[in-house]
Copies of this chain bind each other. A is one copy, B any other.
Amino acid sequence: MTDTLAINRGTQWLTSADLRPTRQRVALAALLVGDGKDRHFTAESLFASAKERGEAVSLATVYNTVRAFCDAGLVQEVTVEGSKSYFDTNTHDHPHFFWEDDQVLTDAPAEELEITRIPAAPEGAEIASVDVVIRLRKTQRQ
């Protein structure tokens, strides 16, 4: 039942960033990039997914591992909410939808965003990134 392809992908992803492919890291990596799709997650949600699949990983290790992935540039932190930290396996600059009702982060179609002019960085500074978060609220249907 263990998905060899997902595990291989995860292992490659780790080694490409010079991270030691330990059992725990491979398990988490497989969950994140095993199917090649972009994934949005928090430390807690990743921990929950791991537990669901019966993987033995401690919460502290999930936190440490996600931090390591982020430092290695494998995932991108997305700032959307005061308390929790959200991460995205898609590290390219792109806009996000944040579903306020469910506190869920998803990708917004980058090709539908057109920014034709951006405030210049003030003297002595340069632009590190431009974060665009489109906050969504569910329309109540009656």
Q: Which residues on A are within 8 Å of B, measured CB to CB?
A: 77, 79-82, 84-85, 95, 97, 99-100, 108-109, 112-122, 124-139, 141
Contacts and interface: CB of A to CB of B under 8 A. Distances in A.
Contact of A125 (B85, B126, B128, B138): B138
Copies of this chain: 2
B138 A119 contact: no
Given A82-B77, A134-B130, A135-B129, A113 B124 contact: no
Contact of A131 (B119, B135, B138): B135
Nearest to A134: B130
B112 A117 contact: yes
A110 to B, nearest CB: 8
Contacts of A108: 119
Contacts of A129: 134-135
A80 B133 CA distance: 11
Nearest to A84: B82
B131 A118 contact: no
A126 B121 contact: no
A118 B112 contact: yes
